[in-house]
Structure 1
Amino acid sequence: MSRDRNWMYMKRTTSEGLFDPTFQHHVNFFLDYAYANAPNIQRELIDGVEVSKIRCPCGKCQIHRFKKRFEVVGDLFKKGFMDNYKAQVMRT
């Protein structure tokens, strides 16, 4: 994964009010990477189905809550990444 994380703090919507496709691309790539690295994942059984969750890096959750991928996507588009997440990731 690229060390350039400036995209995390870019504008999430276009001038037309649509989600920015560049931000969408980076979020999907970021989540693919996060879910591919086992130490980041919490797994649980829900109705007999294994569900994977990661710590949500949005401005509200601030990596304190584990969430499903679609929940993380929603949070990142609504709330953006938490402050200084770029610096935290660089240290790991």
Structure 2
Amino acid sequence: MVWGPAVIHCSAGIGRSGTFCLVDAALVLIDRGASLADLNLRQLLLEMRSYREYMIQTPDQLRFAYLSVIDSLKTKEVGETGDPACASNS
């Protein structure tokens, strides 16, 4: 299935929207074969900030992004192996 670009916006378009955009971009990279070792969320955020300054404004937003990506990878492992124990060992 091919999806078009996501359209997201909060009041300033950088805090919550930036968090969502970082998670979305990371999940697209994962779907294209990147592993957690390949994925550098900090670098990805810095690159995205070159297009939209101040994306992700609080430590909680950044923590949410990291936890969302990790949770997605765990869920993906369970889906591929069928073994929930595999996800809890990551």
Taking structure 1 as the reference length, what is the TM-score of the superposition?
Answer: 0.36
Q: Which one has the bigger strand percentage?
A: 1
Q: Which has the higher contact order (CA 8 A, sep 6+)?
A: 2
